[in-house]
Amino acid sequence: MHREIDGEQLADFDASFSTERIYRVSVENLSVAIAEEKLAAPLYKTYPLDSIVKDIDEADYGVVAEIDEKIAGFALVKYEAWNNRARLTGIFVRANSKGKGVGRALIEAATNFAKGKKARCLFVETQNVNYPAIQFYRKSGFEFCGFDSALYNPEDISGGETAFYLRKNLTFMKILETERTTLREITENDAAFILDLMNQPSFIKYIGDRDVRTIDAARREIENRFLKSYTESGFGFWAVELKDSNTPIGICGFVKRETLPEPDVGFAFLPQFERKGYAYEAALAVMKYGREKLNLQRVLAITTRENERSVKLLEKLGLSFVRLIAMPHEKEELKLFSSDLSDR
């Protein structure tokens, strides 16, 4: 559950962390080296609540995550109009709520706010000693973009901490819009979504097991499959987002396979967004886009014989069954469908 944040409710909030690893920065002339270092003893640090309350007062957006009506975490965002950047000024998750998806939900909410502002990126500052936070940000689609070894007053902190800067790029190419959705290119920021989608039982059963089990594997899949298709073919599978929340709910688009003479249309949606008409709405718009913008004359589609819902949707889109075909790496023959777009 999300709701707006109230500083008075954080009086007993534990904003601390511990780590057995840090990042050590060394600079020599114009060369910079960042190395992971294991500490001899765990490091403990807490962020003062008075500075957090100040950030709350100055934030343009604040959101609380609750579990059983208790604060599990919160995030704060400040929009910087001068450089069109959204700054994540704070994100904290209570210790007993970590590992429950709270942090990811807060990042999603902060990202949606930034997208609503049309910000080019979501930016965050942390410290070289906050190893857990850095790992979390990287898994959430952030990339390292800089550091400042002179930002903090060494008299105020122990050990001479270094500021680490990370950003999550929010720029993407919008392909088309429907009444309820936006279709856009998939980026590395969608790794968590792609990981979730490709591990759904229905995806594995009807489309295949891509062996994507980690965020890093999802990023590689995005680079090697989705981004490669955009570059080589000028199209591919695009993310389908809800207009009102920027939430990715599925993928839809075209793919050009070496084993088929024409591009084929495809789609896959998270289970909670199935049977709501989103697949038909997106696929219908994609077919029109293929005819009017990509100048496709003929479109194919393939599906397993037992995937009756996909068969019905393909037929509703105007594709007709042609024959059963054998495809590489498939144990059983697939149903091949075709549609002549020049007739539409």
Note the pLDDT tens digit of each residue in 143-155.
999 999 888 877 6
Q: What is the mean pLDDT of residues 255-274?
A: 96
Residue 242 pLDDT level (bands cut at 50, 70, 90): very high
What pLDDT was estimated at residue 2? 44
Question: Does the pLDDT at position 236 exceed 90?
Answer: yes
Beta-strand ranges (E) seen in the chain are 2-3, 16-28, 31-46, 61-67, 70-80, 85-93, 121-127, 143-148, 163-169, 174-177, 181-184, 237-242, 248-255, 264-269, 298-303, 320-325, 334-340
Query: In whole angstroms, what separates CA 168 from the centre of its chain?
Result: 10
**248-255 and 31-46 beta bridge pairing:** unpaired
- Report the pLDDT value the prediction gives residue 285, as an integer from 0 to 100: 97
Q: What is the pTM of this model?
A: 0.62
Check whether 208 has a pLDDT greater than 60.
Answer: yes
Going through 104-247 in order, the beta strands assigned E by DSSP cover 121-127, 143-148, 163-169, 174-177, 181-184, 237-242
What does the pLDDT average to over 66-92? 92
Average pLDDT over residues 104-125: 89
* pLDDT of res. 8: 66
The Cα–Cα gap between 167 and 132 comes to 16
User: What is the rounded CA–CA span in Å between residue 319 and residue 311?
Assistant: 9
pLDDT value at 9 more than 50: yes
User: What is the overall mean pLDDT for the chain?
Assistant: 90
Pinpoint the residues of the chain covered by CATH 3.40.630.30: 2-169, 174-343
- What's the pLDDT at 15? 83
Helix (H, G, I), strand (E, B) or coil at 152: coil
Q: How much is the average pLDDT of 190-209?
A: 94
Fold of 174-343: Aminopeptidase (3.40.630)
**Residue 155 DSSP class:** T
**Superfamily (CATH) of domain 2-169:** Gcn5-related N-acetyltransferase (GNAT) (3.40.630.30)
